[in-house]
C-alpha cells in the first residue's frame, strides 16, 4: 500500500524520491505502507497551479459547478466500498460504521452543497446597492485523521460550489482515503489546477500553506493547538482562517428526561468512532439524586459495546486510530483514577482478550468534579464522565465551564424547557433529545473550538467574499 504520489495541476506526480511516512494499521500495529512527505516546494507547485486555475474556474457558471459536483457524487457512491475499506485500514473504524456513517455522511456533504448551490443567489440588489458574493480564491484545506473522507468533502464540496480552487493537505496518519478522493476528482473531470493534493506533516506542509502569500483562505479541522499554529502563521498575510477544533461537549439531563432511554444513547453517542469525534458528548450532567441510577444504566450500555477486529461485522468499536492518541487516552484515564473519580467500568489497558492493537476499554467515570482533568481536557477516546449537579442553574454553569464550545446536548421531556436551556449553552450546535444528523445545520465552535462554520449554506459562505456595488 505504498503510494508516494501527489495530485498537482491535473495529474499524479511521483514523489518516490521524497522521505516516506509509515502508515500503521491500528489493529495489528504493523506498518502497512508508506506515503510521501511533502515539502515547501511541493506546496509552491500546488498553490501556483491553483492560482493559475482560479481565473477561469471562478468565472464558471453555477450549472458547470453543479455538473462537476454531480459527477463527484456519482463516483463517490460508486466507490463507497473502496473508501470504507480504506478507512478501516488507515484508522481502525469498524467496517459496519465505515459503511453506515463515515462514507454516507461524507457523501451527504456533496449532495447538500448541490442543494445549496441550486438556490443560492450570488447577486442581489436593494435599490441602488448590489451585493455580489464572489469566490475568495485559492483555499488550503487541512483535514484530520478521525473522520477522513467526511472532513474532506465538508471542505472540498463548498469550495467547489463557490468557484474556489483547492490545495488539500490530508492527515498523514489516514492518507489512503484522500488518495482515493483525488482519483475521484480526476475521474470527474475537474479542470487542471482546481483540485490539488499534497500530503505530509503539519509542521512542514500545513505550515507552508498557512504562511503562503498566494493562499487566500485556510480551513483546518484538528486540535486547538494545531489551529493556533495555523492562525499565527496565517496572520502575516491576513488570510481568512476557518477553524473547527477541539471540544468537550456536555450532555445535560434535566430531571424530567427519559433516563432509561437517554443514558444508553448518550453513552453510545460519546463513544462512537471510539470516542474520536470533536463534538462527542463526553460530559454527562445529571441530577445528583439520580446518580446511582445513571451509573447503572451507563455501565450496562458500555458493557454492550463489542470491541475487536474492525473488519468483523459484529464489532461496534475498533482501536484508537494511532499510537500517540492511544497513549494520551491512557494518560487521561490514569489521571481520572488518580484524582479520585469513581471508576464505574473500563480503566487502563486493553479490553480482556485483546493482546495487540491500540484498543482502549470503554470507560465511564462518575462523581466527577468540574476541576478534574477528565472533565476539562478533550480525551478523544471512549471515556465518558458523569458529573452530578444540584439544580438547573448549576447544570448550565457546569455545561459552560469549559474553554471549548463546539457541541452540546439537552435531554428533557418538556420541549419548551429544553429549548430555554439550549439557548443558554455556549456552543455552536446544540442537540435536543438526540435528533437526526443534518448536513445543512451549521457546525462550528464558540471559544477555543474555533471560528467559522461548515455544512450547508453557512459552509458555502465561508468560501465567498462580499462585494458591495453602489450606484448599481
- pLDDT for 134: 98
Question: Residue 90 catalytic?
Answer: no
Q: Are residues 172 and 241 in the same domain?
A: yes
Pull the grid cell for residue 83: 473508501
Helix (H, G, I), strand (E, B) or coil at 303: helix
Q: Are residues 254 and 162 in the same domain?
A: no
Q: Are residues 64 and 106 in the same domain?
A: yes
Distance CA 268, CA 87 (A): 20
H-type helices in 238-322, by residue range? Answer: 259-271, 291-303
Q: Are residues 209 and 323 in the same domain?
A: no
Q: Which of 326, 253, 329, 333 is nearest to 295 (CA)?
A: 253
In a domain, 179, yes or no: yes
Q: Are residues 234 and 290 in the same domain?
A: no
The number of folded domains in the chain is: 2
Distance CA 338, CA 332 (A): 10
Distance CA 318, CA 302 (A): 14
pLDDT band at 125 (very low <50, low <70, confident <90, very high): very high
pLDDT band at 432 (very low <50, low <70, confident <90, very high): very high
- pLDDT for 202: 96
Residues in the chain: 472
What percent of the chain is predicted at pLDDT more than 90?
Answer: 99
For residues 156 and 148, the answer to whether their CB atoms sit within 8 Å is no
pLDDT of residue 93 exceeding 90: yes
Domain with 161 in it: what CATH number? Answer: 3.40.605.10
Structural domain of 154: 5-245+448-470
pLDDT of residue 18 exceeding 90: no
In a domain, 201, yes or no: yes
Q: Are residues 196 and 259 in the same domain?
A: no
pLDDT of residue 1 exceeding 90: no
- pLDDT for 21: 97
Pull the grid cell for residue 428: 455552536
pLDDT tens per residue across span 248-279: 999 999 999 999 999 999 999 999 999 999 99
Q: Which residues of 171-201 are buried (b: 16+ CB within 10 A; e: fewer)?
A: bbbbbbbbbbbbbbbbebebeebbbbbbbbb
pLDDT of residue 213 exceeding 90: yes
Domain with 299 in it: what CATH number? Answer: 3.40.309.10
In a domain, 258, yes or no: yes
pLDDT tens per residue across span 381-410: 999 999 999 999 999 999 999 999 999 999
Q: Are residues 160 and 108 in the same domain?
A: yes
Q: Are residues 172 and 281 in the same domain?
A: no
- Longest CA span, the chain: 74
pLDDT band at 300 (very low <50, low <70, confident <90, very high): very high
Return the number of other C-beta atoms located less than 10 Å from residue 353's C-beta: 8
In a domain, 200, yes or no: yes
pLDDT of residue 324 exceeding 90: yes
Helix (H, G, I), strand (E, B) or coil at 441: coil
Is the sign of the CA dihedral 145, 148, 151, 155 positive or negative?
positive
Q: Which of 135, 96, 93 is nearest to 322 (CA)?
A: 93
What percent of the chain is predicted at pLDDT more than 70?
Answer: 100
- 3-state DSSP helix/strand/coil percent for the chain, to nearest 5? 40, 20, 35
Q: Are residues 297 and 403 in the same domain?
A: yes
Rounded to the nearest angstrom, the gap between the alpha carbon of residue 219 and the centroid of all alpha carbons in its chain is 12
Q: Are residues 324 and 215 in the same domain?
A: no
In a domain, 456, yes or no: yes
Question: Residue 331 catalytic?
Answer: no
In a domain, 363, yes or no: yes
Q: Are residues 280 and 214 in the same domain?
A: no
- pLDDT for 166: 98
In a domain, 407, yes or no: yes
Write down the catalytic residue from 90, 139, 172, 244: 244
pLDDT band at 6 (very low <50, low <70, confident <90, very high): very high
In a domain, 443, yes or no: no
Q: What is the mean pLDDT of the chain?
A: 98
Q: Are residues 280 and 196 in the same domain?
A: no
Write down the catalytic residue from 172, 278, 295, 462: 278
Amino acid at each position: 500500500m505504498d503510494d508516494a504520489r501527489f495530485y498537482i495541476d491535473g495529474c499524479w506526480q511521483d514523489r518516490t524520491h521524497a522521505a516516506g511516512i509509515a502508515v500503521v494499521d491500528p489493529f495489528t500495529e504493523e506498518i502497512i505502507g508508506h506515503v510521501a512527505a511533502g515539502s515547501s516546494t511541493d506546496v509552491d507547485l500546488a498553490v501556483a497551479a491553483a492560482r493559475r486555475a482560479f481565473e477561469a474556474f471562478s468565472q464558471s457558471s453555477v450549472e458547470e459547478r453543479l455538473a462537476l459536483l454531480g459527477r463527484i457524487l456519482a463516483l463517490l457512491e460508486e466507490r463507497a466500498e473502496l473508501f470504507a475499506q480504506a478507512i478501516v485500514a488507515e484508522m481502525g473504524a469498524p467496517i459496519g460504521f465505515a459503511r453506515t456513517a463515515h462514507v454516507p455522511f461524507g457523501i451527504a456533504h456533496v449532495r447538500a452543497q448541490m442543494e445549496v448551490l441550486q438556490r443560492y443567489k450570488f447577486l442581489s440588489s436593494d435599490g441602488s446597492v448590489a451585493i455580489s458574493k464572489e469566490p475568495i480564491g485559492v483555499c488550503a484545506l487541512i483535514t484530520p485523521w478521525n473522520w477522513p473522507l467526511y472532513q474532506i468533502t465538508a471542505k472540498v464540496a463548498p469550495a467547489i460550489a463557490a468557484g474556489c480552487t483547492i490545495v488539500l493537505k490530508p492527515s498523514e496518519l489516514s492518507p489512503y482515503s484522500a488518495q482515493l478522493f483525488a482519483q475521484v476528482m480526476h475521474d470527474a473531470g475537474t479542470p487542471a489546477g482546481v483540485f490539488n493534493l499534497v500530503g505530509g506533516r503539519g509542521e512542514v506542509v500545513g505550515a507552508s500553506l498557512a504562511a503562503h502569500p498566494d493562499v487566500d483562505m485556510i480551513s483546518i479541522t484538528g486540535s486547538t493547538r494545531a489551529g493556533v499554529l495555523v492562525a499565527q502563521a496565517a496572520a502575516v498575510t491576513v488570510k481568512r482562517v476557518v477553524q473547527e477544533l477541539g471540544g468537550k461537549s456536555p450532555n445535560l439531563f434535566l430531571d424530567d428526561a427519559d433516563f432509561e432511554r437517554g443514558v444508553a444513547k448518550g453513552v453510545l453517542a460519546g463513544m462512537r468512532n471510539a470516542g474520536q469525534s470533536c463534538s462527542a458528548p463526553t460530559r454527562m450532567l445529571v441530577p445528583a439524586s439520580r446518580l446511582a441510577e445513571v451509573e447503572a444504566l451507563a455501565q450496562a450500555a458500555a458493557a454492550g459495546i463489542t470491541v475487536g477486529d474492525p473488519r468483523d461485522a459484529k464489532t461496534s468499536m475498533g482501536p484508537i486510530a494511532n499510537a500517540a492518541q492511544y497513549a494520551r487516552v491512557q494518560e487521561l484515564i490514569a489521571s481520572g483514577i488518580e484524582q479520585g473519580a469513581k471508576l464505574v467500568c473500563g480503566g487502563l489497558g486493553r479490553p480482556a482478550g485483546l493482546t495487540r492493537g491500540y484498543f482502549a476499554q470503554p470507560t465511564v467515570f462518575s462523581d466527577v468534579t468540574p476541576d478534574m482533568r477528565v472533565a476539562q481536557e478533550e480525551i478523544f477516546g471512549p471515556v465518558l464522565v458523569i458529573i452530578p449537579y444540584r439544580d438547573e442553574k448549576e447544570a448550565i454553569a457546569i455545561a459552560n465551564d469549559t474553554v471549548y464550545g463546539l457541541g452540546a446536548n439537552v435531554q428533557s421531556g418538556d420541549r419548551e424547557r429544553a429549548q430555554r436551556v439550549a439557548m443558554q449553552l455556549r456552543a455552536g450546535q446544540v442537540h435536543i433529545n438526540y435528533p437526526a444528523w443534518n448536513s445543512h445545520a451549521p457546525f462550528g465552535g464558540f471559544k477555543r473550538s474555533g471560528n467559522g462554520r461548515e455544512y450547508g449554506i453557512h459552509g458555502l459562505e465561508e468560501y465567498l467574499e462580499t462585494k458591495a456595488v453602489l450606484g448599481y
